[in-house]
Structure 1
């Protein structure tokens, strides 16, 4: 299969969508990212890495980081996590509060913001509160790029606009669902989301999801059963209220972030990351999603 040709064609087909949508408005600094960016990177389980466009330009990973923090928590405490956060899709926005209160402070899934905060709370317990550092180390090690860092300017911008996340954390704390202080939890969550990495970095770092839980070193991070369940949650919940449409269009687990990044996992084959800052109404990259659909169609790597 000509993977280089497939990646190049997917990039070229999606270029026409670059500039459509709008940058994330919830974090002021993200609203300043130029709309004219499109990067694509495919990393295969055979060790091939193919990039196109702005594939090496770092961007704010935002909610893409949630996949990596979730993997670390599952590796540490396994199935007990699901007593604290459910695995149900949500038809509401990723920062919605109404359902959280109805559900007595138990988030619908680990990818809505409230659920991600619960995951960070557990990761803080496992890593002496240094949860963001643990996620950063996983990304650096698996991508082979020690230069991946937390964008402190972006983190500061997010701290000044994190009111809904604070509300979610306080609501969960009122139900007794958190172990750590809300202020410290928010700091660690924001640091994690403010990690800056490129499409090449993210695609390579996520390969353990396509390799049945094996890290690049050969060490087992997650069992095959655990990684199947993680990928199932990514498939059903990773793109929020758009998850059903994305499952039909891409046919694989996809996680998105409001920084414009999207990552698809093709089990047994590889991981694909695309980045373009213009978002649709659900907060998913318009051009990035088009890339994922093009590659999935051309390779036939659908999980269905």
Structure 2
């Protein structure tokens, strides 16, 4: 495995065609696009990494996997009153679909869906209480108490997130968002601003690779059925309107973030985190996708194998 990862960094990681950083979030615009890291945490307790795998980055929409898990813990299948379970086929911040579908987001991984999930987690609580729960959960699944919010990134999103405000107010008009919009957006922007490195992120996905149980510690995080459902949503919806392309090329459940990270799950085998800040035209890490495609080719880990 280490030889495979070293080969990926030596080849794909050196590519000049790296995509573009998410410059619409000022704090992310200055990130060096030449960084590239990858980590594989296997279900038998081994961890392999190379490149810039210890460099912290903003996980952005990858956090939507964790907020969804928290919301499911509170509400169970009641979550699906807030959001649907279908691929969107539209950009992650599109408002068009909301109007056609009466304010209910297509899935929990587009921005509107994650905003609705943040509203569901709040349930008349203060944002600091909801955020403490989300951060505590992420620290628990990653087995790392050092994980924190990046306050500069959160503030940058608060300062520039007008489209997300529009999504939230639109859903509020339809009764999907029930809590104060400022509370909901504060919660949403901050959980997207969690900072992690590839090693921490790979460790955090092990419970999804282990059918709901952390295979290293033996601790059950969620039920087997819930883990399979989250994985299925990651496969269908985890890369926005590029989800079909990711499934075609990589064949693993995965969730991307505009910070350049991707969390991918090989059920029963491993959790994989890759980070390269340059994005493709639909907002997914360009080299990260290529790296995962090469990894699956070398390991045969595709769920379609």
Category of TM-score, reference length = shorter chain: over 0.9
Among residues 47, 50, 67, which one is paired with 1:49 in the alignment?
47
Q: Distance in 2 between matches of 1:110 and 1:228?
A: 15
| Change beyond 3 A, Cα 1:205–1:193 | same
Where in structure 2 are the equivalents of 1:196-215 lying within 5 Å?
196-215=195-214
1:284 aligned residue: 284
Greater shift in the superposed pair: 15-24 or 73-82: 15-24
Give the TM-score taking structure 2 as reference length: 0.95
> How many residue pairs were aligned?
302
Q: Distance in 2 between matches of 1:41 and 1:135?
A: 23
Q: Distance in 2 between matches of 1:214 and 1:75?
A: 15
Among residues 91, 94, 104, which one is paired with 2:89 in the alignment?
91
Shift of 1:217: 4.6
- For residues 219-257 of structure 1, the C-alpha deviation after alignment (integer angstroms, 9 at most, x for no partner) is 332211111111111000000111111101111111100
2:162 aligned residue: 163
8 Å CA contact 1:139, 1:201 repeated in 2: no
1:172 aligned residue: 171
8 Å CA contact 1:17, 1:286 repeated in 2: no
Give the TM-score taking structure 1 as reference length: 0.96
| Change beyond 3 A, Cα 1:127–1:198 | farther
What SS does the aligned partner of 2:247 have?
helix
| Change beyond 3 A, Cα 1:99–1:55 | same
| Change beyond 3 A, Cα 1:206–1:146 | same
Q: Distance in 2 between matches of 1:302 and 1:178?
A: 37
> Are 2:293 and 1:293 aligned?
yes
8 Å CA contact 2:126, 2:183 repeated in 1: no
2:190 aligned residue: 191
| Change beyond 3 A, Cα 1:260–1:48 | same
8 Å CA contact 1:19, 1:36 repeated in 2: no
| Change beyond 3 A, Cα 1:249–1:127 | farther
Q: Distance in 2 between matches of 1:76 and 1:7?
A: 38
2:221 aligned residue: 221
> Are 2:126 and 1:103 aligned?
no
| Change beyond 3 A, Cα 1:31–1:166 | same
| Change beyond 3 A, Cα 1:158–1:19 | farther
| Change beyond 3 A, Cα 1:19–1:159 | farther
- Unpaired runs of 5+ residues, structure 2, are none
Q: Supply the RMSD in Å over aligned alpha carbons.
A: 1.4
- Unpaired runs of 5+ residues, structure 1, are none
Q: Distance in 2 between matches of 1:142 and 1:171?
A: 34
Shift of 1:126: 8.7
Q: Distance in 2 between matches of 1:179 and 1:18?
A: 46
> Are 2:239 and 1:243 aligned?
no
Q: Distance in 1 between matches of 2:66 and 2:19?
A: 27
What SS does the aligned partner of 2:225 have?
helix
Shift of 1:75: 2.2
2:181 aligned residue: 182
- For residues 51-91 of structure 1, the C-alpha deviation after alignment (integer angstroms, 9 at most, x for no partner) is 10000100000001001111111122211211220011111
What SS does the aligned partner of 2:123 have?
helix
Shift of 1:135: 2.1
